[in-house]
Structure 1
Amino acid sequence: MTNTTHSKIALGTWSWGSGMFGGNAVFGNTLDTADLKAVVDTALANGLNVFDTAYAYAAGESERILGELIAPYKRQDVIISTKFTPGMQDDQAANPVEDMLDGSMKRLGTDYIDIYWIHNSADVERWTPYLADLVKSGKVKRVGVSNHSLDQVKRVQEILEPSGVKISAVQNHFSLLYRSSIEDGLLDYCKENDIQFFSYMVLEQGALSGKYDENHLLPADSQRGQTYNPLFPALRDLLAGLRELAAKYDASPAQIATAWAIGRGTTPILGVTKVEQVEDAAKVASLALTATEVSQLESLAAASGVDTRGGWEGKA
C-alpha cells in the first residue's frame, strides 16, 4: 500500500458527521456511515489510504464514522491522521492530550495513530511537550502541528529537541487563494528539514472546484456559502483560468487546483463525500502543470484580491 512519505494525496473527513463544527454546520451536509461506505471502499481500492480527521470534526462523529468504515480492512493498510484540538480538551484530565487521543483511538477502533497533530497554535508552550511521550508510548507513530506559523514550528522543534522527537509533518491552509506558507518561508523550511507539508482547503471548501461560481452558488445557509458566495465575482478570472487548463488536460478545475498544490511540493488533503470525488483524486496524481501554468494561475489568484485566511488561523 501507499506510504505517507510518498502519498500524493490524503482524504479529508471534515464534512463527515453532524454536530459541533460538523458537516451539517460547515458544509450543509448530513452524512453518516451508510452514506460514505462506497467512498472509503473506492478510495482503498484506488490506493488512497491516508484519511485525515479530528475530534473537532463534529465532536468525534467524523472519527466514529471513519472507524466504522475501515473496520473491515487490515489496520496496517490504512493510515490514520487525527488531532488534539486546544480549546476542546478536558482540563480535569491528568493529561488532556492523551485523554483526547484515547477517545479518538476508541472511536477509530485502533490502538495507535499514524500521525497525531496539535490542531492549532493556541498555546505552543503548554501543549507541545506532550507529543514526545505519546511517541515514546507507541500510541503515536508520527507527530505534526497544524495552523502554526514558521516561527511557531521552529519553537515546537526547539521544545521537542531534548526528547529526541521531531515533528515530521505540518498541516496548514494552502491554496491558490492562500499562499502564506510560500510567502513566509514555511514551505521551504519544511522541504529543508524533511517535514511533509499537508495542504488543506486546497479547493477552498469547493469554491475552486469548478462546480460553483456567481451563477451557481454554494448552499446559502452553510458557513462556506456565507464565506465564499460573496467572493465569486472577484474569482471570475481565476475560475476561467482553471477551466481553460482543465480543458487542455482533459481534467476538472478541481484536479487542476490540486495539481498546482502537488506541484508546489505539498500533500493535498481533499475533502471527500462522493465516489466521483475519490475517482478525481486518484486521477490527479498523474497531472503535472508547467512552470508557466503554475505562474499564470498564481497571477490570476493574486489579481482577484481575495484573502481566505480563516478566523481559526490567528496571525502568522
Structure 2
Amino acid sequence: MTTKTEAKIALGTWSWGIGGFAGGDSIFGNQLDTKDLQEVFHLAVSNGLNLFDTAYAYANGESERILGELVNAYGRDQVLISDKFTPGMQNDSAENPVVDMLEGSLKRLGTDFIDIYWIHNSADVERWTPLMVEAVKSGKIGRIGVSNHSLEQVKRVQEILAPHGIKVSAVQNHFSLLYRNSIEDGLLDYCRENDIQFFSYMVLEQGALSGKYDENHPLPAASTRGKTYNSLFPALKELLTAMHELADKHQASAAQIATAWAIGRGTTPILGVTKVEQVIDATRVAGINLSDEEVIFLENLAKTSGVDTRGGWEGQA
C-alpha cells in the first residue's frame, strides 16, 4: 500500500446511503445506493481518483457497505480506502471500542485492510488516542490520522502515540474559503513542517460554493444544508460572482476554482461525489493554477462576507 496518494483530490462518500443522523437522505436530501453510483465510481477510478473517504457515521455504515460493494466489484488493489472511528458511536461494552468499530467497518467494506484510519472527532483525546495503538499493531490499517482536531489536540495525540513509535500522518479538517481556521491557528503550517498530509473537507461547503446555487437558486429547503446555507447566500453574492469570473478566465467551473484554491493552499481536498459531472470537475482541477493575487482576492472577499461556517462538531483546543 502507498504512503501517499498520487491524486491531488480524494473523493467523499458522506452523501452515500440512507439512515442515521448523518445519512445522505437527512443531510443532502439524497437517496443513493450502490447501483446509483456505479458509473460515478468507475469514471473516478478510471481517471486516477482512487482514494475514497467514508465513515461508520455516514448513514450508520451504509456508506461503507456501498463503497465496499463498488470496490470489490472493481478490484481492491485499485483503490485506497479512508475510514474513521467516531467517538460517540462506539460500543462501550467492547474491550477496545476502537478495534470493535474497525472490525465492523472492515466487514461492511468487505476488506481486511484500511489504508487510512482516523479518529473522527476530538470528543476525548485522552481516552481514544491510546486505543488506536492496538488498531495499528493489528496490521489492519496503514496510516492513522485525526479529524476535527485543533493544533493543540494534534500535538497531544502525537505525544501520546510517540512512545509506541507511531505518528500521525494525516489531518482531516473542515477547510474552505468560508472556514479558514486551520490557516489562522497555525495547524496548516504545523502539518507542512511535520510531513503531515492535510485533507480538507467541505471545500465546496456542501454545494454552497459549487456555483450552482445562490439566493435565487437555493439548496433543497428541507435538507440540513439548505437550512444551513440558504440564508447566507445574500452575503456571499460578491464572492460567488468573483468565483464565476475567475472560472471564465481559467475555462473552469466555480466549483473547480474553490477546489483549486484549497490545493493551492497545500491541502488535499475531499470532494463529495454523487454525479458523473462532479467526477469530471474533479479530474480537471489539477490543471488549474491560481495566482497568489487571485488566492488573496478570493480570501479577502470571503472575509468581507462575514460568513463563518464553523460547525458544532469542530474540535476545540
- TM tier, shorter chain? over 0.9
1:266-313 CA-to-partner distances (Å, cap 9, x unmatched) read 000000000110011011011110000000000000000000000111
Q: Is the 1:173–1:201 Cα contact (8 Å) retained in structure 2?
A: yes
1:17 counterpart residue number = 17
2:175 counterpart residue number = 174
* CA distance in 1 between partners of 2:184 and 2:303 (Å): 12
2:94 counterpart residue number = 93
Q: In structure 1, list runs of 5 or more residues that go unmatched.
A: none
Indicate yes or no: 2:7 matched with 1:4.
no
Cα deviation for residue 130 of structure 1 reads: 1.6
* CA distance in 2 between partners of 1:98 and 1:314 (Å): 23
Q: In structure 2, list runs of 5 or more residues that go unmatched.
A: none
Q: Is the 1:49–1:78 Cα contact (8 Å) retained in structure 2?
A: yes
1:55 counterpart residue number = 56
2:76 counterpart residue number = 75
One-letter amino acid matched to 2:285: V
Q: Is the 2:149–2:315 Cα contact (8 Å) retained in structure 1?
A: no
Cα deviation for residue 4 of structure 1 reads: 3.4
User: SS at the partner of 2:271?
Assistant: strand
* CA distance in 2 between partners of 1:105 and 1:238 (Å): 42
User: SS at the partner of 2:313?
Assistant: helix
Specify whether residues 136 and 71 from structure 1 end up closer, same or farther in structure 2 by C-alpha distance, changes over 3 A only: same
Specify whether residues 5 and 71 from structure 1 end up closer, same or farther in structure 2 by C-alpha distance, changes over 3 A only: closer
Q: Is the 1:182–1:188 Cα contact (8 Å) retained in structure 2?
A: yes
2:275 counterpart residue number = 274
1:208-254 CA-to-partner distances (Å, cap 9, x unmatched) read 00000000000000000000000000000000010000000110000
2:115 counterpart residue number = 114
1:43-87 CA-to-partner distances (Å, cap 9, x unmatched) read 001000000000000000000000001112232221000000000
Match runs of 1:70-219 below 5 Å: 70-219=71-220
* CA distance in 1 between partners of 2:2 and 2:120 (Å): 24
Q: Which stretches of structure 1, 4 residues or more, deviate above 2 A after TM superposition?
A: 1-7
Q: Is the 1:2–1:47 Cα contact (8 Å) retained in structure 2?
A: no
* CA distance in 2 between partners of 1:206 and 1:192 (Å): 31
Q: Is the 1:4–1:79 Cα contact (8 Å) retained in structure 2?
A: no
One-letter amino acid matched to 1:22: G
Q: Is the 2:5–2:51 Cα contact (8 Å) retained in structure 1?
A: no
Q: Is the 2:150–2:315 Cα contact (8 Å) retained in structure 1?
A: no
TM-score after normalising by structure 2: 0.98
1:293 counterpart residue number = 294
* CA distance in 2 between partners of 1:81 and 1:142 (Å): 9
One-letter amino acid matched to 2:144: V
* CA distance in 2 between partners of 1:2 and 1:48 (Å): 14
1:306 counterpart residue number = 307
Q: Is the 2:106–2:113 Cα contact (8 Å) retained in structure 1?
A: yes
1:229 counterpart residue number = 230
Specify whether residues 165 and 41 from structure 1 end up closer, same or farther in structure 2 by C-alpha distance, changes over 3 A only: same
1:37 counterpart residue number = 38
Cα deviation for residue 2 of structure 1 reads: 8.4
* CA distance in 2 between partners of 1:275 and 1:310 (Å): 28
User: SS at the partner of 2:146?
Assistant: strand
* CA distance in 1 between partners of 2:85 and 2:3 (Å): 23
Q: Which sits farther off after the overlay, 6-15 or 250-259?
A: 6-15
Q: Is the 1:14–1:53 Cα contact (8 Å) retained in structure 2?
A: yes
* CA distance in 2 between partners of 1:275 and 1:5 (Å): 22
What is the RMSD computed on CA atoms of the aligned residues? 1.1
Q: Is the 2:121–2:315 Cα contact (8 Å) retained in structure 1?
A: no
One-letter amino acid matched to 2:16: W
One-letter amino acid matched to 2:14: W
Q: Is the 2:171–2:198 Cα contact (8 Å) retained in structure 1?
A: yes
* CA distance in 1 between partners of 2:7 and 2:95 (Å): 36
One-letter amino acid matched to 1:98: V
Cα deviation for residue 314 of structure 1 reads: 4.4
Q: Is the 2:220–2:226 Cα contact (8 Å) retained in structure 1?
A: yes
* CA distance in 2 between partners of 1:255 and 1:164 (Å): 39
* CA distance in 2 between partners of 1:29 and 1:272 (Å): 12
Q: Is the 2:41–2:70 Cα contact (8 Å) retained in structure 1?
A: yes
